[in-house]
Structure 1
Amino acid sequence: MKRQPFNDSLILRWLARCMLLLIVWLPDIPARAQLEVFDESPGDKDMFRSSTLVNMQTVQTGVPGSWEFHIRHRFGYVKADQSLIRNFLGTDGVANIRFSFQFPLGSRGMLGIARTKSGKTYEMEGKYRFLDQSTDNRRPFALAVYVNVACMSDDFPPVSQFAYFGDGRQRFTYELAHRFSYSSQLILARKFKERFRALLIPSFQYYNLVTPGYQNHRLGLAAGGSVALSTKASVVAEYHYRFGRKPENGLFPATLGIEFGTVGHSFSVFVSSSQALNTQQLEWSTPYDYTNGEFLIGFNLRRTFWKKAKNEKG
């Protein structure tokens, strides 16, 4: 087993301060009318209908004066044969699900909390968009940063009493720090004409504890896009490449689906090759062999709630 050098107590204190800031600051954000702050046909500042494409982050951070509830659900594994019907599109299989709440910080920032079924994982995430694409193309793309800290709360798997850390000297015992993993991402987005929007995301993931033979860190590069079919529907696609050690089957996670959106919500349904629901898990997962007809069906749901202004009654 390999151990990490990060100081998790500092990270936890930083997260506590961020949450305190969120609780104190959010109630003072003025409410705005829905149609004034969100256009069903996104412009340069509203390139995408949600803060996520499918698994990829977008440059969206939500609307000031609101908060968002997200559900990400992945049904069980199926194959393009009779099991597709026998397992009823994968709904009979083991599913994975993630619930999250996101709170805009001004017009460019966001803080969120989440819980994922896999590993009984609790997460805190933050995003900040510091560059918007300009209509005159002087700024040809939008730019944002995203960070995620996850804590696995499930039971650790049993290990032999003769297990040692990677140095081969100290006998291995589980520690609180081993439950944590981290992700940081640089999000580049560009709108091409009126219908096509593209995403490119280099990312860095770090697990405090990995199995022997694996590195604690991993670099990834994700690419995705959205093609508008109308003001309320788009085709979405993603592909996640990782550097270094590749999945056992030599394939990388891929997704193809369709997204629907209105002022207050968005909904997407898709086929994907991975059940992972955060970037750390996604970059460490071995996807299903989609070249052999293996896949799963999933959906994402985002619902936006607007807060009432202080002088608004009822």
Structure 2
Amino acid sequence: MTRLLLLLFIGMFPMTLFAQLERKLENENQPVELIFHAPRHINLLTVEPLSKKSMHFAIMHTFGTLDGGIENLFGLDNGANIQFSFEFALSEKLSLAASRSSRDKVYNVFGRYHIFQQTQNGNLPFSLSVAGGGGVNTSSYDFLPESAPNFGERMSYFGQVMLARKFSPKIAVQVTPMMAYFTDPRPVYQIEGTENFYLALGFSGKYKVT
């Protein structure tokens, strides 16, 4: 009889009891997951780290410009520049990579380091990562009337900073300041005929539809 009365009493106040069963994160300072779904977003590196001892293989390509019109199928008829890239994570923060591009037969090596990640409690409002590396142009340069460049003139270097924030389960945005330097003195790599140094700012965004 006592047990029956106790069960009836509990049944009268279900909301009061369940309100006390609040769900809380064991670690409220843990990183936000999946700001992006891969270490690359289109052709930009992202703040998304690889798991330790995991590898990411990417095939990327770009075509011609849209102003070719329907005759060139808005750039698709132009030859694609294709890059194969392998990235391996030495730790949760550091990864090393190597890639090869079809244009100018460029081989690159680079590293990516994740300084800190956005946290779920908002103590860190965004994620910050950096990347940098160098490459060598192995094209034959048979088409040039002058002599081919030496090894030092074939080198190029790049660096970039990735700042990203996940605003909601659906929306994430990244801003990527970057630089590139080409040692080749030929005008094809120069800005206004005098510079080989490039600065750029990349924007990347994700919207989760479903």
Range class of TM-score, shorter chain: 0.7 to 0.9
Q: Which amino acid aligns with 2:60?
A: R
| Partner deviation per Cα, 1:230-286 (whole Å, 9 max, x = no partner) | 2xxxxxxxxxxxxxxxxxxxxxxxxxxxxxxxxxxxxxxxxxxxxxxxxxxxxxxxx
SS at match of 2:139: coil
Q: Choose which of 197, 200, 207 in structure 2 pairs with 1:220.
A: 200
TM-score under structure 1 normalisation? 0.51
SS at match of 1:214: coil
Name the counterpart of 2:157.
182
SS at match of 1:119: helix
Q: CA deviation at 1:218?
A: 1.9
- RCO higher in structure (CA 8 A, sep ≥6): 1
* Residue 174 to residue 92, structure 1, CA distance change in 2 (3 Å): closer
> Quick check: which has more Rg, 1 or 2?
2
Q: Does the CA-based 8 Å contact 1:198-1:225 persist in structure 2?
A: yes
SS at match of 1:221: strand
Name the counterpart of 1:68.
56
Distance in 2, Cα, partners of 1:81 & 1:154? 30
Q: Does the CA-based 8 Å contact 1:122-1:150 persist in structure 2?
A: yes
SS at match of 2:86: strand
Matched, 1:194 2:166: no
Matched, 1:115 2:100: yes
Q: Choose which of 117, 122, 135 in structure 1 pairs with 2:120.
A: 135
Matched, 1:95 2:87: no
Q: CA deviation at 1:148?
A: 2.3
Distance in 2, Cα, partners of 1:147 & 1:117? 20
| Partner deviation per Cα, 1:94-145 (whole Å, 9 max, x = no partner) | 1211111110111111111111000001011110001010111111100001
Distance in 1, Cα, partners of 2:181 & 2:145? 22
Q: Does the CA-based 8 Å contact 2:32-2:119 persist in structure 1?
A: yes
Name the counterpart of 1:158.
144
Distance in 1, Cα, partners of 2:65 & 2:199? 26
| Identity across the alignment (%) | 28
Structure 1 residue ranges without an equivalent (≥5): 1-42, 162-172, 231-314
Q: CA deviation at 1:73?
A: 2.2
Aligned residues: 174
Distance in 1, Cα, partners of 2:69 & 2:152? 43
Matches within 5 A, 1:1-314: 44-77=32-65, 79=67, 81-83=69-71, 92-156=77-141, 158-160=144-146, 174-212=149-187, 213-230=193-210
TM-score under structure 2 normalisation? 0.74
Q: Does the CA-based 8 Å contact 1:204-1:220 persist in structure 2?
A: yes
Q: Does the CA-based 8 Å contact 1:45-1:132 persist in structure 2?
A: no
Structure 2 residue ranges without an equivalent (≥5): 1-30, 188-192
Q: CA deviation at 1:180?
A: 0.7
Q: CA deviation at 1:49?
A: 1.1
Distance in 2, Cα, partners of 1:155 & 1:91? 26
Distance in 2, Cα, partners of 1:219 & 1:90? 25
